[in-house]
């Protein structure tokens, strides 16, 4: 199911889209946050299934594995403006995924029109408003309430070991923490930008640690970009 689709186009709102029909389920591929002025480059890819009402858990997981992106969003039911949504990584169901939510909102708006919708997710209700603009569909999202908490040593040290890092590699101005915006996940900020671009990890080992630690989706690693700025682009390891 890698994109050998006959039709591929730049989706509205900076989402690049692909469509393939795997009978009887249509699977869409979007790249949320792609830059339409740069030919749709960049962004974060997600799978989208608009009609998953008849799919079981194993079937949704199998589709997510074939899509191969960090998450695929599945619409399992619609009542009025409320859309029931589930998210699957290639390894398991996850409670929420921000970029897949944006991709799904654009896909629905392209087919059913702009407007306000509420996505009912395992992490709570997410209110979205899609609008048509000259640049395409734009989506504003009010997500679940964010939260942070400290990352204790008994959870931090195994993570550093898997990533091949030490405490000395971390930026002193940004203590390690766990963040929540639908999923709890660890956030590490490295002091050295060069190390950020060089460190490596074993995906299978990291995925097992994430499962044991109840981190369902990602590990986020960042680096400072300048005085007064928090951090640069993140590297994420999806549980696969």
Q: What is the pLDDT of residues 90-149, one digit of tens each?
A: 888 988 988 899 999 999 999 999 999 999 999 889 999 999 887 788 888 887 778 999
In the chain, how long is the greatest CA-to-CA distance?
53
Distance, in Å, from the CA atom of 206 to the CA atom of 224, rounded to the nearest integer, reads: 24
Q: Is the pLDDT of residue 66 over 90?
A: yes
Summarised one tens digit per residue, pLDDT across range 187-238 is 999 998 888 888 788 888 888 898 899 888 788 898 887 665 554 444 444 3
Global model pTM greater than 0.85: no
Summary count for the chain: helices (H), strands (E): 5, 15
Q: Sorting pLDDT into bands at 50, 70 and 90, what band is 70?
A: confident
Distance, in Å, from the CA atom of 150 to the CA atom of 161, rounded to the nearest integer, reads: 18
Q: What pLDDT score does 237 carry?
A: 44
Q: What's the CA dihedral at 77, 79, 81, 84 to 10 degrees? A: -30
Summarised one tens digit per residue, pLDDT across range 23-35 is 578 999 998 877 6
Q: What pLDDT score does 131 carry?
A: 92
Three-state DSSP class for residue 29: strand
| Token pair in block for residue 155 | 């959870």
Distance, in Å, from the CA atom of 37 to the CA atom of 173, rounded to the nearest integer, reads: 36
* Cα–Cα–Cα angle for 200, 204, 210, rounded to 5 degrees: 90
| Token pair in block for residue 212 | 């044991």
Q: Sorting pLDDT into bands at 50, 70 and 90, what band is 16?
A: low
Q: Is the pLDDT of residue 10 over 80?
A: no
The residue from 37, 71, 110, 154 that is catalytic is 71
Respond yes or no: is residue 71 known to be catalytic.
yes
Closest CA to 192 of 206, 218, 209, 174: 174
Percent of the chain with pLDDT over 90: 48
Q: For the chain, how far is it from start to end, CA to CA, in angstroms?
A: 17
CB contact at 8 A, 100 and 238: no
């Amino acid at each position: 199911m890698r994109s050998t689709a006959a039709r591929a186009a730049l989706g509205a709102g900076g989402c690049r889209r692909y469509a393939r029909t795997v009978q009887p389920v249509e699977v869409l591929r979007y790249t949320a946050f792609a830059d339409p002025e740069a030919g749709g480059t960049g962004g974060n890819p997600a799978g989208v299934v608009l009609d998953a009402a008849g799919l079981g858990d194993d079937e949704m997981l199998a589709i997510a594995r074939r899509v191969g992106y960090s998450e695929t969003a599945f619409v399992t039911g619609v009542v009025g403006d409320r859309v029931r949504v589930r998210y699957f990584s290639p390894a398991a169901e996850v409670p929420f995924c921000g970029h897949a939510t944006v991709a799904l909102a654009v896909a629905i708006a392209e087919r059913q029109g702009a407007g306000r919708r509420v996505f009912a997710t395992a992490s709570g209700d997410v209110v979205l408003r899609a609008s048509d603009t000259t640049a395409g569909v734009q989506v504003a999202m009010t997500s679940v309430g964010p939260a942070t908490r400290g990352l204790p040593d008994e959870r931090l040290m195994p993570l550093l070991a898997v990533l091949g890092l030490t405490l000395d590699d971390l930026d002193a101005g940004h203590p390690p923490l766990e963040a929540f915006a639908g999923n709890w996940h660890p956030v590490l900020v490295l002091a050295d930008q060069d190390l950020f671009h060089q460190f490596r990890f074993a995906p299978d080992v990291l995925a097992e640690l994430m499962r044991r630690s109840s981190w369902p989706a990602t590990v986020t690693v960042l680096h400072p970009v300048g005085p007064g700025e928090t951090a640069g682009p993140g590297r994420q390891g999806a549980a696969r």
